[in-house]
Amino acid sequence: MSTGVPHPLLSIAPASLRPTQFSVGKAEVAAKRAQWEKLGRKKRKALLESHCFPAVLGPGQHVYIVDHHHLGLALLEEGVKKVSVLILRDFSWLEPAVFWRTMEFNRWAHPYDRHGDRSDYDAMPIRLTELRDDPYRTLAARVREAGGCAKDATPYAEFLWADFYRRRFKLSRGKVDARVMQQALLLAHGHEAAYLPGWSGAIG
């Protein structure tokens, strides 16, 4: 049984990182790729040196990241060979079922699919490239960026916002346009959204 993390800081290929959620906003991934492509060699190196992916060591010695899935997928798609990973806990000695229950208890796993429905742990993607697109997750991020709500430290906060919007209107072909943003920002300041992390209050 392992009880400690002798080497908490690792250098790992993005392709070896395992996700702890089912979906991302693919438009956000594309935006991060565009930002990366604009950087010169020195700035790219500085970004990689200053950024660590928080992770947990799981069964089979696999590394499960617990945040920054969008950036991880973007760097993988951009062909980055290595990223820095900070191992928060070593749960490699746990049985898979216990591992996932422990991860969820610590709010290090989000077992809900791109439709907001709960899924089995066994169905969790094992590669970042297997993450599915949830356009409502993109909408939630853009609402926050537009000032519709405040950034909140609550784990998976934007997934809660995504589910809030998912229940209220449909996105035509999964696109977030100006009309959708106007409607989403109005809803963000309504009393119905008051339970959500980062809610900034009603207007008027």
Query: Is residue 22 domain-shared with residue 121, that is, in the same domain?
Result: yes
Per-residue pLDDT band at 154 (split at 50, 70, 90): confident
The whole-number pLDDT of residue 109 equals 97
- Final residue belonging to a domain, choices 103, 131, 159: 131
Query: Is residue 116 domain-shared with residue 155, that is, in the same domain?
Result: no
% of the chain exceeding 90 in pLDDT: 86
Residue-number span of the structural domain to which 80 is assigned: 9-131
Query: Is residue 107 domain-shared with residue 150, that is, in the same domain?
Result: no
Q: Is the confidence at residue 7, as pLDDT, over 70?
A: no
Q: Is the confidence at residue 172, as pLDDT, over 90?
A: no
Per-residue pLDDT band at 4 (split at 50, 70, 90): low
- Final residue belonging to a domain, choices 131, 146, 177: 131
Chain segment 13-62, per-residue pLDDT in tens = 999 999 999 999 999 999 999 999 999 999 999 999 999 999 999 999 99
Tell me which amino acid residue 191 is. Answer: H
The whole-number pLDDT of residue 6 equals 57
Q: Is the confidence at residue 118, as pLDDT, over 60?
A: yes
Q: How many structural domains compose the chain?
A: 2
Check: pTM over 0.85? Answer yes or no.
Answer: yes
Query: Is residue 43 domain-shared with residue 72, that is, in the same domain?
Result: yes
Per-residue pLDDT band at 8 (split at 50, 70, 90): confident
Q: Which of 153 and 161 is assigned the larger pLDDT?
A: 161
Domain-embedded: residue 1: no
Query: Is residue 56 domain-shared with residue 118, that is, in the same domain?
Result: yes
Chain segment 88-107, per-residue pLDDT in tens = 999 999 999 999 999 999 99
Helix (H, G, I), strand (E, B) or coil at 78: coil
Residue 175: which CATH number? 1.10.8.10
- Final residue belonging to a domain, choices 91, 115, 131: 131
Structure tokens, 46: 């500085």
Query: Is residue 81 domain-shared with residue 55, that is, in the same domain?
Result: yes
Q: Is the confidence at residue 186, as pLDDT, over 90?
A: yes
Token pair 């100006």 is found at: 178
Query: Is residue 53 domain-shared with residue 107, that is, in the same domain?
Result: yes
The dihedrals phi and psi of 111, each to the nearest 5 degrees, come to -80, 55
* Alpha carbons within 13 A on the beta-carbon side of 9: 5
Query: Is residue 147 domain-shared with residue 83, that is, in the same domain?
Result: no
Ranges of beta strands (E only) in 78-201 are 83-90, 132-133
Structure tokens, 182: 């106007």
Residues in the chain: 204
Query: Is residue 161 domain-shared with residue 125, that is, in the same domain?
Result: no
Query: Is residue 80 domain-shared with residue 18, that is, in the same domain?
Result: yes
Query: Is residue 139 domain-shared with residue 88, that is, in the same domain?
Result: no
